[in-house]
Structure 1
């Protein structure tokens, strides 16, 4: 069951990229920015502890 759901998610993501590549790229960039900001915040927090 997990394999079927995983393949379905991948198929939907590929479909989304083909149908709306600009939106997909923007979303991936937003996720990258969110992760980078989160990592910088964690680093800043631990730097302040020292």
Structure 2
């Protein structure tokens, strides 16, 4: 088994453990990531719209 595959399995196991052990905090973490991605997308859209107006 190569190191890349082992690291992937370990990452999935860690995420599953976190979701099972602390589902409230895991949901909050996902919401924070989604909020960050939404803010970043809005910033890019604003930037591009300001270039073309």
Gaps of 5+ in 2: none
Whether 1:28 and 2:21 are equivalent positions in the alignment is no
Which of 41, 45, 48 is 1:46 aligned to?
A: 48
Instruction: State the shift of 1:48 in Å.
Output: 0.4
RMSD across aligned positions (CA): 0.4
TM-score normalised over the length of structure 1: 0.97
TM-score normalised over the length of structure 2: 0.92
Q: Show structure 1 runs of 4+ deviating over 4 A.
A: none
**Residue in 2 aligned with 1:37?**
39
Instruction: State the shift of 1:23 in Å.
Output: 0.2
Larger Rg: 2
Instruction: State the shift of 1:30 in Å.
Output: 0.3
Equivalenced residues, count: 50
